[in-house]
Chains A and B, each alone.
Chain A
Amino acid sequence: MRNVLPVVTVVAAILALWYAAAIPLNIHQSLVEAERAGEIVAPEGANVRRDMSGLTLAFRNPSNIGDVFGQDRPRLPAPHQVFAELWDTTVEKKVTSRRSLVFHAWITISATLVGFGIGTALGIVLAIGIVHNRAMDLSVMPWAIASQTIPILAIAPMIIVVLNSVGLQGLLPKSIISAYLSFFPVVVGMVKGLRSPERMELDLMHTYSASPAEVLWKLRLPASAPYLFASLKIGIAASLVGAIVGELPTGAVRGLGARMLSGSYYGQTIQIWSALFMAAISAAVLVGLIALIQRQTLRRMGLES
């Protein structure tokens, strides 16, 4: 109960703010519709009202405020509209239907998981190389950092086009963009993790005349487990973003990115927002799954009680 109250308060505050923001953002459209239906609004004429602030219009037409929460294509849909759409497209539709958000979410999540797998594997391999090879230590990290400074939105279409020209389509190009975003936190975390053993722990291995491979398997890798999981949580969220961005430039018809894109083509703001929420929910579930695996693994390793 002590935990519930603060959470409920925060959620209520966000909803209140959201509803309040919908008023000035949607009032213009509401007044246009009201005028068209023959009502008297102040001032008259959409042209006159265009440059006026939403707040002023709301004050001058208080009777029209109620209409801002029920529009078909609002600038900012009200929370209940988004949740009704979410309910309609998840629970009420069959998951195999093209109109089901679960269907679209799965398309995106499958690309996310493949990309996350590629990115994690690549990240671990690079980190092992960086820790063991001085040339890689000096050369790979700057490139990895540079790769992350390029806006993904700029490079994603190029990746799609290049891969398309060699015959790769569908899931894989999206996964590669996913991997592009998710390998980086894994490299950074794993380099730190693989270097986390203390001097003494390494000396101990030296007194056993252990080979570098044995030091890696029996000391560096187990010691890096906590670092790896911290990176994986960031990595999987980045993967999801990558998969969604990967759907945008292809004009994909399936996936959460496709829903957002088609929503914006046709001014279906409610659809965009529900797809956004679905993406957020997916990310939360994926991160939660990693956290679960983390707890289980670290507990089995004796690193957590």
Chain B
Amino acid sequence: MISTAGLNLTFQTNDGPVHALKDVDLEIGKGEFVSFIGPSGCGKTTLLRVIADLETPTAGTITVNGESPKAARLDRAYGYVFQAAGLYPWRTVEGNIQLPLEIMGYPKTERVERAERVLKLVDLEGFGRKYPWQLSGGMQQRASIARALAFDAGILLMDEPFGALDEIVRDHLNGQLLDLWKRTEKTICFVTHSIPEAVYLSTKIVVMSPRPGRITDVIESTLPVERPLDIRDTKEFLEIAHRVREGLRAGHAYED
């Protein structure tokens, strides 16, 4: 689904070049839930942005659905969920969800239909006519996930979507996201800096470390598909979490 080989990205800044991604080799299969975890500056968001064709790598190859990221973007291969909900304040929730559909040229009746369907998917039925400021932070983020789901892209790219929310809301949304993933069978790339979140959600955890941004470990989760919240107290869960922590330490992620 997504595959990279020898991927490098160097930003030219006033303080000299910054090696944001170094020799990234990664395979992501269809229907996987992949978490990218690491401290700030490890390039996890940059990698997501490269997949989304928001950044261009300086060396190496990357294919999304077997084509270049740009071609994949033009084919509407992915939906992107940003750190902040980023709903346009002059549009209702419904209007925000219909925004990509308008740009992609869906007819009006189908737009309405699809907006209704994805609102149901993220448990926001009946909130379509509200403006973003009338919604809580968690609801706004759910609306932005609905917006990314509206045009049926096979891949969902999520950049710390729950980072700004409190832990209780976050747990709730994590459960909902897993549900959604199982129902829609999408491939999800999920950037986070929370170890429990990464372990709870993923089928595969990519541990990254900074300076230069690189992959230090890739962990295939052995947790079952059905994951109640209290799975986080099981031995298996803690073992995986431990390995993630080891991976972060190995990358000198805790330095300075």
Q: Which residues from chain A sit less than 8 Å from chain B, CB to CB?
A: 198, 200-201, 203-210, 214, 218-219, 222-223, 225, 301-303, 305
Contacts and interface: CB of A to CB of B under 8 A. Distances in A.
Given A206-B53, A218-B102, 6 more contacts: A200-B82, A200-B83, A206-B54, A302-B133, A303-B89, A305-B133
Nearest to B95: A302
Given A214-B103, A218-B99, A218-B103, A207 B78 contact: yes
Interface in B183-224: none
Given A207-B52, A214-B103, A222 B90 contact: yes
Interface of B: 52-54, 73-74, 76, 78-80, 82-84, 86, 88-92, 99-100, 102-104, 131, 133
Contacts of B104: 208
B99 A302 contact: no
A209 B83 CA distance: 20
B86 A302 contact: no
Given A207-B54, A209-B73, A302-B91, A201 B86 contact: yes
25 contacts: A200-B83, A201-B86, A201-B88, A203-B54, A203-B82, A204-B80, A204-B82, A205-B103, A206-B73, A207-B53, A207-B73, A208-B99, A208-B100, A208-B104, A209-B103, A210-B103, A218-B99, A218-B103, A222-B90, A302-B89, A302-B90, A302-B91, A302-B92, A302-B131, A303-B89
Contacts of B102: 218
A106 B73 CA distance: 56
A26 to B, nearest CB: 56
A202 to B, nearest CB: 10
A52 B99 CA distance: 76
Nearest to B83: A200
Contacts of B88: 201, 218-219, 222-223
- 10 shortest interchain CB distances as A-B pairs: A302-B131, A301-B90, A207-B80, A222-B90, A208-B103, A208-B100, A210-B103, A200-B86, A200-B82, A209-B74
Contacts of B52: 207
B90 A225 contact: yes
Contacts of A206: 53-54, 73
Q: Which of B88, B102, B131 has the most CB of A within 10 A?
A: B88
Contacts of B131: 302
Nearest to B70: A209
Nearest to A222: B90
A252 B152 CA distance: 67
Contacts of A200: 82-84, 86
Contacts of A301: 90
B252 to A, nearest CB: 30
A210 B101 CA distance: 11
Contacts of B100: 208
B77 to A, nearest CB: 10
Contacts of B103: 205, 208-210, 214, 218
A201 B79 CA distance: 14
Contacts of A209: 73-74, 76, 103
B64 to A, nearest CB: 12
A171 B73 CA distance: 53
A198 B99 CA distance: 17
A210 B76 CA distance: 11
Contacts of A208: 76, 99-100, 103-104
Q: Which of A204, A207, A222 has the most CB of B within 10 A?
A: A207
